[in-house]
């Protein structure tokens, strides 16, 4: 098992100081997170999952299917679902990059830490993933272990999650657009995870956006979750409302924005690409 420090080293003093300041901020964040976000890109518009396959007489001249051929090209784009060559194997697994750490930190510098992670999911549409469940182990806070209800000590299991592709930042041309993936509870309802540490309850809600590589087809993909001072990078897709992680510590604690940093490797059952052009 590859090593991870992901979530949980909580400071009780920081919680007390954060309560008043976080309440007003949380009200704004909750408003953003409950409104209909429309984060799923329009059908038929980029970006989307699929495969760029070498073909005689294709529409593209490059192996990323980003450069339209003049005349007869050597590659053809096939969307993950539908069309003549859909995905045959749509599952994937995720593991932390060896030798790296992951940290969830709130805007008031409360940090949450764990070690080791396993995750699996599947592609559910040309722009969507689903059936994602993440299990964190060796989790601790206040120098004591944390656990989801019914899980062994130190083990946190998320609810079932789903996600969608979007544009993080516009480039000069579509091929230069920065693409990201948003991950959230099914139907954007309920918690991402609920657990307790030393008898203190912790609830994580909202969603998590991570930049992802595009325009190259590989069996595995590095994904970097980025955050600074409790704020995710990015916090939204282009033209969409703020869409972030929120934490609630204790039964009466305020909602507080949080960001997660973590480097993971996603391994697909077959080669797949995120195309920002098609």
**For 27-43, how does the pLDDT look when each residue is reduced to its tens digit (9 = 90+)?**
434 433 433 344 444 55
Q: Is the peptide bond before 114 cis (omega within 30 degrees of 0)?
A: no
pLDDT for res 42: 54
The whole-chain average pLDDT of the chain stands at 85
Q: Is the pLDDT of residue 8 over 70?
A: no
Higher pLDDT, 199 or 48: 48
Q: What is the mean pLDDT of residues 94-114?
A: 86
pLDDT for res 110: 82
For 194-208, b/e burial (b = at least 16 CB within 10 A) is bbbbeebebbbbbbb
Query: In the chain, what is the greatest distance between 2 CA atoms, to the nearest angstrom?
Result: 67
Residues 6+ apart with CB under 8 A from 36: none
Higher pLDDT, 166 or 101: 166
Q: What is the mean pLDDT of residues 102-128?
A: 89
What is the SS3 assignment for the chain?
CCCCCECEECCHHHHHHHHHHHHHHHHHHHHHHHCCCCCCCCCCCCCEEEEEEEEEEEEECCCCCCCEEEEEEEEEEEECCCCCCCCCCCEEEEEECCCCCEEEEECCCCEEEEEEEEEEEEECCCCEEEEEEEEEEEEEECCEEEECCCCCCCCEECCCEEEEEEEEECCCCHHHCEEEEEEEEHHHCCCCEEEEECCEEEEEEECEEEEECCCCCEEEEEEEEEEECCEEECCCCCCCCCCCEEEEECCCCCEEEEEEEEEEEEEEEEEEEEECCC
Other beta carbons within 10 Å of 99: 8
Tokens found for residue 111: 């940090």
pLDDT for res 69: 96
**What CA–CA distance (Å, rounded) separates 153 from 21?**
32
Residues 6+ apart with CB under 8 A from 83: none
> 117: buried, middle or exposed (CB in 10 Å: 19+, 13-18, 0-12)?
buried
Tokens found for residue 215: 């325009």
Q: What is the mean pLDDT of residues 49-66?
A: 96
User: Which residue shows structure tokens 């495969």?
Assistant: 51
Other beta carbons within 10 Å of 192: 20
- Residues 134-178: tens digit of each pLDDT: 988 888 877 788 999 999 999 999 999 999 999 999 999 999 999
Q: Is the pLDDT of residue 216 over 70?
A: yes
The answer to whether 130 touches 157, Cβ cutoff 8 Å, is no
pLDDT for res 43: 52
**What CA–CA distance (Å, rounded) separates 29 from 206?**
9
pLDDT grade, residue 113 (50/70/90)? confident
């Amino acid at each position: 098992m590859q090593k991870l420090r992901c979530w949980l080293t909580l400071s009780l003093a920081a919680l007390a100081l954060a309560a008043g300041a976080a309440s007003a901020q949380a009200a704004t964040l909750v408003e953003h997170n409950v409104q209909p976000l429309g984060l799923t890109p329009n059908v038929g518009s980029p970006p989307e999952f699929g495969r760029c396959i070498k073909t005689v007489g294709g529409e593209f001249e490059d192996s990323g299917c980003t450069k339209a051929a003049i005349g007869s090209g050597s590659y053809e784009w096939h969307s993950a679902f539908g069309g003549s060559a859909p995905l045959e194997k749509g599952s994937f697994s995720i593991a932390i990059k060896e030798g790296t750490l992951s940290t969830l930190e709130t805007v008031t510098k409360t940090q949450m830490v764990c070690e080791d992670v396993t995750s699996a999911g599947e592609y559910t549409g040309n722009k969507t993933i689903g059936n994602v469940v993440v299990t964190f182990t060796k989790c601790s806070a206040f120098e004591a272990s944390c656990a989801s209800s019914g899980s062994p000590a130190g083990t946190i299991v998320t609810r079932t999650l789903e996600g969608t592709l979007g544009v993080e930042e516009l480039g000069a041309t579509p091929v230069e657009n920065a693409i990201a993936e948003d991950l959230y509870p099914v139907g954007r309802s309920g918690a991402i995870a609920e657990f307790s540490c030393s008898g203190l309850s912790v609830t994580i809600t909202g969603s998590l956006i991570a930049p992802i590589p595009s325009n190259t087809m590989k069996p595995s993909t590095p994904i970097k979750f980025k955050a600074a001072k409790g704020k995710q990078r990015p916090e939204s897709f282009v033209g969409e409302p703020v869409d972030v992680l929120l934490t609630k510590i204790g039964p009466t604690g305020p909602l507080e924005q949080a960001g997660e940093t973590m480097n993971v490797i996603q391994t697909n059952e077959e080669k797949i690409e995120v195309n920002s052009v098609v």
